Amino acid sequence: MTASILDGKALAARITDELKPRAQRLAEAGRRPGLAVVLVGDDPASQVYVRNKIRACEKVGVESLEYRLSAQTSEAELLERIEALNNDDAVDGILVQLPLPAQISSDKVIAAISPDKDVDGFHVASAGALMTGRPGFLPCTPYGVMKIIESAGYDLAGKHAVVVGRSNIVGKPQALLLLQRHATVTITHSRTPDLAQFLRQADVVVAAVGRAKLIKGEMLKPGCLVVDVGMNRDENGRLCGDVDFESAREVAGWITPVPGGVGPMTIAMLMTNTIEAAERHCGLA
């Protein structure tokens, strides 16, 4: 058996196409959606991510407002910039690219963003809304993972889902979203002894631990659905996930590739959140 490939790139393109008329409707109502993207420093990976996000804005019809600040920018200066963006009516969403330089607290920066412009879904108000099942912005990567699972026509109710990773950005919110769909959820992480014993019971695996090819095919339950959030470099410098794709695809029923799986979906869901924020701001939501 060889797994069906879950093509995140193609799904993201479909979602982007569906967003265009919503952006057009907003523009016709006199409000072009606006996303402020703030990049502090010159981290190469962050620059690539920001470029991809700006390109996605152009495709959808969202105005991207780009702010590039030096690596020496102080925390106070960045917080001042965020406050100005919070008060700018042309801005529907604010995205501060992480990681930030050592002198700036990510927690303080995330807390400073107005919850109604928190299109990354990282604010404690957004996290609290997710925890309690109230409306709010979902974090883009877990949101994208759920859309990928949905695209496979997979019913999560009663299934055992194992999340590998416990970050605030992916692991924890992912577990909550899976619970909302009535899955039984186990959260594992880098310090879980005998990870394989949990994975062999898993109908669904979401790998988000940041360790290249940690999960091998022999650790998986035959026919399971595997979503690989990892973005690592292998011994040859090639992009790879947390799952050893070649061995896993011989065991799993469905699997996402790296690249071309979750990455494009994260950006598609950022665009979704931005359009939703704009619709709320003009009373169309």
Same domain, 151 and 256: yes
Q: Are 119 and 35 in contact (CB under 8 A)?
A: yes
Tell me, what CATH number does 63's domain have?
3.40.50.10860
Same domain, 168 and 217: yes
Measured CA to CA, the distance from residue 36 to residue 254 in angstroms comes to 36
Q: Look at residue 227 and tell me if it is in a domain.
A: yes
Average pLDDT over residues 54-74: 96
Task: Return the amino acid letter for 116.
Answer: D
Q: Rounded to two decimals, what is the model's pTM?
A: 0.96
Residue 285 confidence (pLDDT) above 80: no
Residue 43 pLDDT grade (very low, low, confident, very high; cuts 50, 70, 90): confident
Supply the residues annotated as catalytic. 53, 97, 120
> Model confidence over 261-282: pLDDT tens digits?
999 999 999 999 999 999 999 9
Query: Residue 111 — left, alpha, or beta (φ > 0 → left; ψ -120 to 50 → alpha)?
Result: alpha
Question: Which of 97, 114, 131 is the last residue in one of the domains?
Answer: 114
Other C-beta atoms lying within 10 Å of the C-beta of residue 62 = 27
* pLDDT confidence of residue 8: 98
CA atoms lying within 13 Å on the CB side of residue 4: 13
Q: What is the mean pLDDT of the chain?
A: 96
Q: Look at residue 122 and tell me if it is in a domain.
A: no
Same domain, 39 and 76: yes
Total domains in the fold of the chain:
2
Same domain, 54 and 99: yes
Same domain, 68 and 164: no
Tell me, what CATH number does 161's domain have?
3.40.50.720
Domain that holds residue 102: 30-114
Burial class (CB in 10 A: 0-12, 13-18, 19+), 13: middle
> Model confidence over 85-112: pLDDT tens digits?
999 999 999 999 999 999 999 999 999 9
Same domain, 188 and 232: yes
